[in-house]
């Protein structure tokens, strides 16, 4: 006979979003069941978390540890590296322009997972089953899940942080709009002879962005290089010297001689947008709720806002966080943010892939305006960090405090 248990809240998924959610919910004084394996330690990617996400992690008690192993992002550059007839100017966004010390921190994913995982494991309010979920079922007053070890868990409310191929999303009856993109991302870390100056550079090419993001120490960076799938695997298979040379050529030597480090990974790119973000006592966060190309550092920042809004809803509807009213509130909070960010990234990515001249003209005109109009540039910088902050910056200081 299989073992069974009941929990008010169960969180499924142990990526950064799921771990942060477990930690945040437990800090409400609410017992929570977490389901998922030990966090991955082989992820070579890094995540640029903007200041609002860092401040949220500060409140969870992990910010100081993250600062010690991350690099600040003080400037973000967009460079048109296409060979098209219509090209855009280089645009530099400096945190100092909006009176910030830095936009955010670039954090190695493996370290982020490890730090969050350690705090979750030490919480007396979190029961962690390091198993996978094999089956879901939903009922009017509960959610039931079965684990790989045959254990059954029932819960009043479930949080799905189980990734882009979410079984929980299917169980909730939430359909998705999915589009496989003609792109893959080559991810690696590399050393360089010139100090990066804590500047992140996003080279826009005909096949997508090639983004360098600073790592601690000044002479190492992480890379996400988007290209055609048929080009990514052969490039990843090159020897270190040849790949280093190809990368330096792609970057036009702006960091001088580069040396790629061991460990390369290739990820196919996909666009996924659910039709809803909560249903049948299940709420979606992280990649269960949104997947899009790695442009302008939006992915996990959006995921942290999922967690923040989730905690707000759980606090307000503590008696029954899986009720229809609670799910409607979560949907209402998350839909505008997710749809707006996903759409913006999709438009930018489409403009890079398209050779349609009017679209290229629009993209060039937009970047030219950002380069030449400081107030507009400041607006987009604030909006990129925190939705709504661009508009609130135009309010008097006293009203700005009320809005925030």
Read off the CATH number of the domain in which 97 is found: 3.30.9.10
Note whether residue 394 is domain-resident: yes
Nearest CA-CA partner of 308 in 97, 21, 18, 79 = 21
- 391 pLDDT higher than 60: no
Query: Residue 234: which residues within 8 A CB-CB, separation 6 or more?
Result: none
pLDDT at residue 404, as a whole number: 44
Note whether residue 336 is domain-resident: yes
pTM for the full model?
A: 0.91
Confidence of residue 368 (pLDDT cuts 50, 70, 90): confident
Q: Are residues 118 and 19 in the same domain?
A: yes
Domain boundary among 269, 304, 332: 269
- 310 pLDDT higher than 50: yes
pLDDT at residue 21, as a whole number: 99
Q: Are residues 120 and 207 in the same domain?
A: no
Confidence of residue 401 (pLDDT cuts 50, 70, 90): very low
Total domains present in the chain: 3
Note whether residue 274 is domain-resident: yes
185-189, 234-238, 256-260, 348-352: lowest mean pLDDT where?
348-352
Q: Are residues 82 and 124 in the same domain?
A: no
Q: Are 186 and 176 in contact (CB under 8 A)?
A: no
Domain boundary among 204, 237, 269: 269
Nearest CA-CA partner of 292 in 367, 334, 344, 228 = 344
Note whether residue 386 is domain-resident: yes
The predicted model gives 201-210 an average pLDDT of 91
Q: Are residues 219 and 305 in the same domain?
A: no
Q: Are 76 and 98 in contact (CB under 8 A)?
A: no
Go through 251-275 and write b for each residue having 16 or more CB atoms within 10 A of its CB, e for each that does not: beeebeebbbeeebebeebbbbbbe
- With both helix axes pointing from N to C terminus, report the angle between 357-372 and 374-385 in degrees, rounded to the nearest 10: 100
The predicted model gives 229-256 an average pLDDT of 96
Q: How many whole angstroms separate alpha carbon 322 and alpha carbon 176?
A: 21
Q: Are 209 and 223 in contact (CB under 8 A)?
A: no
DSSP 287: G
| Helix H or strand E encompassing 11 | strand 4-12
Q: Are residues 30 and 95 in the same domain?
A: no
Q: Are residues 84 and 187 in the same domain?
A: yes
Q: What is the CATH classification number for the domain harbouring 341? A: 3.50.50.60
Note whether residue 366 is domain-resident: no
Q: Are residues 49 and 146 in the same domain?
A: yes
Over residues 90-147, the pLDDT tens digits come to 899 999 999 999 999 999 999 999 999 999 999 999 999 999 999 999 999 999 999 9
Q: Are residues 262 and 281 in the same domain?
A: no
- 316 pLDDT higher than 60: yes
* Residue 196, token pair as written in the block: 């990066």
Q: Are residues 122 and 260 in the same domain?
A: no
The three-point CA angle 270-274-277 to 5° equals 135
Radius of gyration of the chain measured on its C-alpha atoms: 22
Determine how many CB atoms are found less than 10 A away from the CB of residue 177.
10
- Which domain does 255 fall in, by range? 71-101+181-269
Q: Are 224 and 294 in contact (CB under 8 A)?
A: yes
Q: Are residues 115 and 95 in the same domain?
A: no
Q: How many whole angstroms separate alpha carbon 196 and alpha carbon 47?
A: 17
Note whether residue 367 is domain-resident: no
Q: Are residues 298 and 188 in the same domain?
A: no
Note whether residue 362 is domain-resident: no
Domain boundary among 239, 269, 299: 269
pLDDT at residue 68, as a whole number: 94
Q: Long-range contacts made by residues 371-374, C-beta under 8 angstroms, separation at least 24? A: 371/89, 371/90, 371/91, 374/97
Phi, psi angles (nearest 5°) of residue 200: -100, 130
The predicted model gives 37-61 an average pLDDT of 91
Q: How many whole angstroms separate alpha carbon 281 and alpha carbon 123?
A: 25
The predicted model gives 26-40 an average pLDDT of 95
Note whether residue 360 is domain-resident: no
Q: Environment class of residue 27 by beta-carbon count within 10 Å: exposed (0-12), middle (13-18) or buried (19+)?
A: middle
Q: Are residues 348 and 290 in the same domain?
A: yes
């Amino acid at each position: 006979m299989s073992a069974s248990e009941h929990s008010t809240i169960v969180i499924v998924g142990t990526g950064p979003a799921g771990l942060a959610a477990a930690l945040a919910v437990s800090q409400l004084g609410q017992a929570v069941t977490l389901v998922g394996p030990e966090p991955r330690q082989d992820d070579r990617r890094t995540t640029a978390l903007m200041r609002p996400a860092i401040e949220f992690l500060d409140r969870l008690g992990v910010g100081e540890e993250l600062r010690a192993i991350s690099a600040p992002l003080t400037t973000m550059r967009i460079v048109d590296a296409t060979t098209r007839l219509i090209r855009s100017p280089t645009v530099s966004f400096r945190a100092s322009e909006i009176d910030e010390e830095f936009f955010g921190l670039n954090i190695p994913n493996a370290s982020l997972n490890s730090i969050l995982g350690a705090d979750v494991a030490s919480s007396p309010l979190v029961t962690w089953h390091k198993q996978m979920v094999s089956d879901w079922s939903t009922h009017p007053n509960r959610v039931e899940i079965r684990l790989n070890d045959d254990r059954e868990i029932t819960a009043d409310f479930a949080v799905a942080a189980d990734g882009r191929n979410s079984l929980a999303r299917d169980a909730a009856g939430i359909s998705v709009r999915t589009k496989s993109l003609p792109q893959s991302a080559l991810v690696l870390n590399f050393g360089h002879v010139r100090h990066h100056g804590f500047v992140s550079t996003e080279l826009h090419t005909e096949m997508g962005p090639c983004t360098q993001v600073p790592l601690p120490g000044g002479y190492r960076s992480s890379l996400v290089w988007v290209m055609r799938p048929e080009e990514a695997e052969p490039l990843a298979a090159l020897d270190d010297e040849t790949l280093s040379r190809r990368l330096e050529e792609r970057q036009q030597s702006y960091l001088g001689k580069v040396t790629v480090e061991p460990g390369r990974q290739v990820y196919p790119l996909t666009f996924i947008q659910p039709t809803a973000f909560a249903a049948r006592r299940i709420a979606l966060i992280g990649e269960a709720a949104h997947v899009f190309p790695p442009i302008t550092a939006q992915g996990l920042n959006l995921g942290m806002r999922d967690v923040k809004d989730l905690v707000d809803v759980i606090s307000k509807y503590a008696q029954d966080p899986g009720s229809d009213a609670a799910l409607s509130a979560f949907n209402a909070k998350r839909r505008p943010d997710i749809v707006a960010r996903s759409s913006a990234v999709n438009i930018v990515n489409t403009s890079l892939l398209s050779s349609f001249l009017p679209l290229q003209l629009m993209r060039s005109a937009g970047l030219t305006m950002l380069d030449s109009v400081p107030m507009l540039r400041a607006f987009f910088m604030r909006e990129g960090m925190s939705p709504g902050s661009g508009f609130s910056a135009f309010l008097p200081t006293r009203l700005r405090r009320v809005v925030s």
